[in-house]
C-alpha cells in the first residue's frame, strides 16, 4: 500500500532527475565539474524521498508512520553527508592542499639543515620541524575539509596514534624551548616522525 506508493514516487522523481541530467550537453564544462551534477542529482532525489517520507508520516497519524518518516529522514541525511565526503576535491581544494603540502615539506627540509646544530640551536630545528609537520597534516584538511580530518584523527583505531603525535609535537617544543636538551628534542622529533 503506502510503502509501494512511496517507492514508486521516489523512483519516478529520481528517474525524472536522471533524464534531466542526461539531456544536458555532456561536453559542456561547468566550473565546479561533474561533482555538482552528481551531487545535485543525488541531493534532489534525497530531498524528494525525504519529502515523500514526511508526507507519509503526516498523512498516516500512526506512531509507526511517524517513526518510519523520522528513520528515513535520518538515513537520508547520513547518505547525503557520506556522498559529500566521497566527492572528489575541487580545483581550489586541491590547490590549497598542494600549496600547504609543499610549504610543509619545505619546512621539514629546512629543519634537516639544522639537524647537525641541534645541540647548539635546538629551537630552530624544533620550530621548523614542528611547523612542517603541522603543515603536512593540515594539507589533508584542505583536501577533504577539517571535519573529515578531525573524524579521521579521532577514529577509534587512529586515536592512540593521534594522541602520540600531538604529545610528540608538544614534547619536541618543550625539549627545545624550555629544557634545551638535545636528547629530548631528538627523541620527540623521532616520535613525531614515526607518528
CA–CA gap between residue 193 and residue 187 (Å, rounded): 10
Residue in this structure with the C-alpha cell 602520540, named with its chain if needed: 164
CA–CA gap between residue 181 and residue 165 (Å, rounded): 20
Q: Percentage of the chain surpassing pLDDT 70?
A: 58
- Residue predicted with more confidence, 152 or 13: 152
**pLDDT tens track for 114-123:** 888 877 888 8
pLDDT of 192 over the 50 cut? yes
**pLDDT tens track for 54-104:** 655 554 445 555 555 566 677 777 766 666 666 778 899 999 999 999 999
CA–CA gap between residue 138 and residue 102 (Å, rounded): 11
At 98, is the secondary structure helix, strand, or coil?
helix
Per-residue confidence (pLDDT) for residue 36, from 0 to 100: 54
pTM: 0.56
pLDDT of 21 over the 50 cut? no
CA–CA gap between residue 133 and residue 188 (Å, rounded): 13
pLDDT of 15 over the 90 cut? no
Q: Taking a C-beta distance cutoff of 8 angstroms, is the pair 8, 48 a contact?
A: no
| Ramachandran area for residue 33 (φ above 0: left; ψ -120 to 50: alpha; else beta) | left
- Residue predicted with more confidence, 156 or 88: 156
pLDDT of 34 over the 60 cut? no
Q: State the burial class of residue 86 (Cβ atoms within 10 Å of its Cβ: 0-12, 13-18, 19+).
A: exposed
Half-sphere exposure of residue 110, counting CA atoms within 13 Å on the CB side?
Answer: 17
Nearest to 118 by CA among 107, 129, 103: 129
Q: State the burial class of residue 100 (Cβ atoms within 10 Å of its Cβ: 0-12, 13-18, 19+).
A: buried
Per-residue confidence (pLDDT) for residue 64, from 0 to 100: 53
Q: Taking a C-beta distance cutoff of 8 angstroms, is the pair 192, 174 a contact?
A: no
Amino acid at each position: 500500500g503506502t510503502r509501494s506508493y512511496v517507492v514508486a514516487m521516489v523512483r519516478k522523481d529520481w528517474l525524472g532527475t536522471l533524464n534531466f541530467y542526461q539531456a544536458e550537453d555532456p561536453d559542456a564544462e561547468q566550473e565546479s565539474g561533474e561533482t555538482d551534477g552528481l551531487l545535485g542529482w543525488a541531493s534532489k532525489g534525497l530531498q524528494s524521498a525525504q519529502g515523500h517520507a514526511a508526507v507519509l508520516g503526516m498523512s498516516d497519524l500512526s506512531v509507526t508512520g511517524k517513526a518510519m518518516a523520522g528513520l528515513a529522514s535520518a538515513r537520508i541525511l547520513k547518505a547525503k553527508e557520506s556522498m559529500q565526503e566521497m566527492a572528489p576535491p575541487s580545483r581550489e581544494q586541491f590547490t590549497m592542499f598542494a600549496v600547504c603540502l609543499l610549504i610543509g615539506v619545505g619546512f621539514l627540509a629546512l629543519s634537516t639543515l639544522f639537524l647537525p646544530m641541534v645541540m647548539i640551536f635546538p629551537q630552530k630545528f624544533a620550530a621548523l620541524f614542528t611547523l612542517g609537520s603541522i603543515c603536512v597534516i593540515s594539507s589533508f584538511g584542505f583536501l577533504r575539509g577539517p571535519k573529515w580530518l578531525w573524524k579521521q584523527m579521532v577514529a577509534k583505531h587512529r586515536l592512540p596514534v593521534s594522541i602520540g603525535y600531538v604529545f610528540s609535537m608538544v614534547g619536541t617544543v618543550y625539549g627545545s624551548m624550555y629544557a634545551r636538551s638535545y636528547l629530548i628534542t631528538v627523541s620527540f622529533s623521532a616520535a613525531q616522525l614515526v607518528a
